[in-house]
Structures are given as C-alpha cells and as structure tokens.
C-alpha cells in the first residue's frame, strides 16, 4: 500500500514537472514582435495618407482663394453692367445720340445745298464777266 502511494506520488510529481515545463515552453513561445511588421506597414500608410491630406488641404485653400477672386471679379463686372444699363435707360443719352445723328444728316444736306448755290453763283459770275467782256469788246 505504501508502494502504491509512493508510485502515485511520483507520477503526480512527474506530471506537475511536465506541466511546469510546458508552461515554460509556452511562455517562451510568445513572440513579442508578432504583428510589428503589419503595424509598421499601416503606420507608413497612415503617414502617406496624412501627407496627402495636408497637400490636398493646401490645394483646396488655393482653389478657394481663386474661386473667391473670380467671384469678386464677376460681381464687380455685374455691378458695372448694371450701372451702365441704368445710365443708358435713365438718361437722355440715346435720344441725344439720335438727335445728333439727325443734325449731322441735316448738316450734310445743308452743305450740299450750299455747294449747289456756290456753283450757281460761279455760273452767274462767269455770265456777268462774259457780258462785261462782250460789252467791252463791242465798245472798242
């Protein structure tokens, strides 16, 4: 009976040592660097994304500035067109221009009449000179 207990005790002690050795082996099997390559890869990817995002933000700011400049130019031109339209509609500029055009036409007509009258005057002067010359010739 004592021998049975002794055998059992030895078996238990062997099993305990065996379990202790397995735990030690399991603890040694833990790889503390497992996944570090994956983490490093994603860290680099994140850095690239972060840099790209910052570059996009700078470009977006430039685009926003350009859009603001274009918008202000368009607004300024729109206001100028509105002012010009208001001036043309509310003033007598158009009717004054039409009146000046009519006056220029009348002036051309008057110039033509004066030219015709001058030609008639020359003809009359030539006739008078001819008559005077004729009279002078007949007297002599």
User: Does 88 reside within a domain?
Assistant: yes
User: Does 57 reside within a domain?
Assistant: no
What percentage of residues in the chain have a pLDDT greater than 70?
79
The total number of structural domains in the chain stands at 1
How much is the pLDDT for 34? 78
User: Does 47 reside within a domain?
Assistant: no
How much is the pLDDT for 1? 55
User: Does 30 reside within a domain?
Assistant: no
78 near 72, Cβ under 8 Å?
no
Would you place residue 24 in the very low, low, confident or very high pLDDT band (cuts 50, 70, 90)?
A: low
Residue 57 has pLDDT above 70, yes or no: yes
User: Does 117 reside within a domain?
Assistant: yes
Tokens for 126, please give them.
């030539």
Name the residue range of residue 124's domain. Answer: 79-140
User: Does 110 reside within a domain?
Assistant: yes
Helices (H), the chain: 2-28, 36-90, 93-139
Residue 2 has pLDDT above 90, yes or no: no
């Amino acid at each position: 009976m004592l021998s049975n207990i002794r055998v059992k005790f030895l078996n238990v002690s062997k099993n305990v040592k065996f379990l202790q050795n397995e735990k030690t082996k399991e603890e040694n099997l833990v790889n503390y660097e497992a996944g570090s390559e994956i983490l490093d890869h994603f860290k680099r990817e994140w850095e690239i994304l972060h840099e790209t995002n910052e570059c996009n933000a700078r470009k977006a700011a430039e685009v926003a500035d350009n859009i603001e400049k274009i918008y202000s130019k368009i607004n300024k031109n729109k206001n100028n067109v509105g002012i010009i339209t208001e001036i043309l509609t509310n003033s007598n500029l158009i009717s004054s221009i039409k009146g000046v055009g009519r006056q220029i036409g009348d002036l051309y007509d008057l110039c033509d009449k004066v030219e015709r009258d001058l030609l008639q005057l020359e003809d009359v002067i030539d006739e008078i000179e001819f008559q005077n010359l004729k009279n002078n010739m007949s007297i002599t």
